[in-house]
């Protein structure tokens, strides 16, 4: 292994693997090193049937982080999953692929003063990342229809919209509630209900590693089971990375941080980049006083509402109950990636709801003019309701003639802000993660209303014929009962963002500029969800990919790598 490379990427996650792919494939063939704390993945984590299980059953692929006690939630401590290994969180996420709303990106561009982050620019990057496939029959055209723009996709990340037998009936029921039909949730306008896209290709989970890492590339070195413990500086110029506290590797061009919204700020803080007073209190030498490092954390949180239903409602249930069939199904999947392990759990329905009836409430009126303007944008929802997803709660025992109907309700654009700080100067200590969930009154109001609306899907539609009784549900529909329920069962949706926020030059809390370069430092860039100045509508893996694509394009152009 060499000690000097053109580029060092810290983190082999969602954005990091993509950036590495683009750099090593450029005409000048620069040498690239990826430093990854985890290991290379096995085939087990790519079984589609386990799309909702990896995060709960594969501790070897998770950092095992916990939040700080959440004061607004009676000091509840929540587990916080973060993917550990080549592919990062794309190894353990729920495989949901949502680009977000056009209004998100246009707000992003406004916040950072650069149209390079507006929807039109982001859409071009998505086309370079995605490999969209449509294998559904004509009978589903009334429920999902991909536009012509998907023909422009040239990427290698497998993305598809898939259906199961019950999907049409579920969407029909949602329409009964007056939820708008949305044939393409990734069009830039997610408002309404539709079939979600997923990162699955040819019967397998598609991760950033499987889509982008080519092991035979001679100019790519991957260092697994290795923790970056410090960024090495000469003055304010990043020159390399300390690994495992005892090895140094050097970058002649750039160090690129792509470790996510917790570990990117953690490494910066350990290296002396961050709020000076906090660093000095831990005895860390200050390289650059950047007060915004670790601040402005934004995240999606939510709850599941679950009802017992009869087995006729689910095409999955007979297979789930027939444990003796699993071994044969696994043999079939191992052989050709087909069968029940590639078809069950492949479909998910999502509704993005705007909740305009809440705009007249005191809680909404108390928001800043900027927040109110943002939420008034026509493509910006307040909550997401996802259904026909995981079997929840894990471990619940069902009879042979029953199964569950589960709806996840998630707050999309929280007003509450959290932080990521250091526990100590020891790199082995996990970061202190404080999302500060539900601190703002409007966050509470929006999620309460979202839970109430989600309950209607099984209780007040044609699906009611399958309903037996609640499994997990508020005692009644009052705000008080629903808030009590939320406090008891709330969880992170694992979409942490904005802890190394991008911003304008005159923003004292901005950490990186529109090119993702760390303020006041040289040869150092951050490229992951930590730089996004706001948490995007939906599920954030797609956003991380387009951040990686943007970073790669900017790096290649700046260093003339395709000249």
Annotated binding site: 93-96, 494-495
Q: Are strands 383-387 and 402-411 parallel, antiparallel or unpaired?
A: antiparallel
Give yes or no: 440 in active site.
no
CB neighbour class for 241 (10 Å; exposed up to 12, middle 13-18, buried from 19): buried
Feature table: binding site for FAD? 93-96, 494-495
In angstroms, the CA 118 to CA 129 distance is 17
In angstroms, the CA 161 to CA 541 distance is 16
Cα–Cα distances in angstroms (integers) from residue 149 to residues 141, 153, 413, 487, in the given order:
17, 8, 27, 42
In angstroms, the CA 549 to CA 18 distance is 7
Q: Are 545 and 513 in contact (CB under 8 A)?
A: no
Q: Are 159 and 131 in contact (CB under 8 A)?
A: yes
Question: Is the preceding omega at residue 455 within 30 degrees of 0, hence cis?
Answer: no
Instruction: Please list the alpha-helical segments (H only) found in 178-224.
Output: 208-212
Tokens of 558: 């700046």
Q: Name 404's bridge partners.
A: 308
What is the chain's alpha carbon radius of gyration, rounded to the nearest angstrom? Answer: 23
| Among 426, 446, 429, residue whose Cα is nearest residue 438 | 446
Give yes or no: 495 in active site.
yes
Pick the catalytic residue: 376, 396, 539, 559? Answer: 539
| Among 412, 381, 384, residue whose Cα is nearest residue 495 | 412
Give, rounded to a whole angstrom, the gap between the first and last alpha carbons of the chain.
Answer: 28
Find how far residue 79's CA is from the centre of its chain. Answer: 16
If DSSP codes are grouped into helix, strand and coil, which group holds residue 103? helix
Half-sphere exposure at residue 59, Cβ-oriented, CA atoms within 13 angstroms? 3
Find how far residue 304's CA is from the centre of its chain. Answer: 18
Query: What are the catalytic residues?
Result: 495, 539
């Amino acid at each position: 292994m060499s000690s000097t490379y053109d580029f060092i990427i810290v983190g082999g996650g969602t954005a990091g693997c993509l950036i590495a792919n683009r750099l090593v494939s450029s005409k000048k063939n620069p040498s690239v090193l990826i430093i990854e704390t985890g290991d290379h993945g096995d085939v087990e984590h790519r079984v589609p049937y386990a799309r909702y299980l990896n995060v709960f059953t594969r501790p070897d692929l998770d950092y095992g982080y916990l939040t700080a006690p959440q004061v607004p939630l009676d000091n509840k401590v929540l587990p916080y999953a973060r993917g550990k290994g080549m592919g990062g969180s794309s190894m353990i996420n729920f495989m949901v692929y949502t680009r977000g709303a056009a209004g998100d990106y246009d707000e992003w561009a406004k916040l950072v003063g650069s149209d390079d982050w507006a929807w039109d620019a982001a859409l071009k990057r998505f086309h370079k990342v995605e490999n969209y496939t449509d294998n559904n029959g004509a009978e589903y055209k009334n429920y999902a229809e991909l536009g012509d723009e998907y023909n422009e996709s040239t990427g290698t990340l497998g993305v598809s919209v898939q259906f199961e037998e019950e999907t049409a009936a579920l969407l029909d029921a949602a329409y009964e509630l007056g939820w708008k039909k949305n044939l393409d949730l990734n069009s830039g306008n997610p408002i309404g209900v539709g079939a979600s896209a997923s990162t699955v290709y040819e019967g397998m989970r598609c991760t950033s590693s499987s889509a982008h890492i080519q092991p035979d590339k001679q100019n790519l070195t991957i260092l697994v089971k290795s923790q970056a413990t410090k960024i090495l500086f000469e003055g304010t110029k990043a020159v390399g990375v300390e690994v495992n506290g005892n090895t140094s590797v050097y970058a002649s061009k750039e160090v690129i941080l792509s470790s996510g919204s917790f570990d990117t700020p953690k490494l910066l803080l350990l290296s002396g980049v961050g709020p000076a007073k906090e660093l000095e209190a831990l005895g860390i030498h200050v390289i650059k006083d950047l007060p915004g490092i670790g601040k402005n954390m934004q995240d999606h949180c939510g709850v599941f509402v679950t009802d017992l239903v009869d087995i006729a409602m689910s095409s999955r249930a007979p297979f789930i109950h027939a444990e003796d069939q699993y071994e044969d199904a696994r043999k079939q999947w191992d052989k050709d990636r087909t069968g029940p392990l590639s078809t069950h759990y492949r479909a998910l329905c999502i509704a993005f709801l705007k909740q305009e009836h809440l705009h007249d409430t005191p809680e909404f009126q108390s928001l800043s003019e900027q927040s109110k303007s943002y939420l008034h944008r026509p493509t910006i929802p307040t909550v997401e309701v996802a259904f026909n997803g995981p079997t929840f709660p894990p471990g619940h025992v069902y009879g042979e003639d029953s199964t569950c109907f589960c709806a996840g309700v998630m707050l999309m654009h929280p007003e509450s802000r959290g932080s990521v700080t250091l526990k100590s100067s020891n790199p082995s200590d996990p970061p202190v993660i404080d999302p500060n969930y539900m601190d703002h009154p409007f966050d509470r109001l929006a999620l309460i209303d979202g839970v109430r609306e989600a309950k209607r899907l099984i209780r007040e539609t044609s699906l009611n014929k399958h309903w037996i009784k609640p499994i997990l549900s508020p005692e009644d529909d009052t705000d008080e009962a629903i808030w009590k329920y939320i406090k008891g069962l709330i969880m992170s949706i694992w979409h942490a963002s904005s802890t190394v926020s991008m911003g304008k030059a005159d923003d004292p809390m901005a950490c990186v500029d529109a090119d993702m370069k760390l303020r006041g430092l040289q040869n150092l860039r951050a490229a992951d969800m930590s730089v996004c100045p706001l948490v995007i509508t939906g599920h954030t893996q797609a956003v991380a990919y387009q951040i990686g694509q943007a970073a790669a394009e900017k790096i290649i152009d700046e260093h003339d790598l395709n000249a």
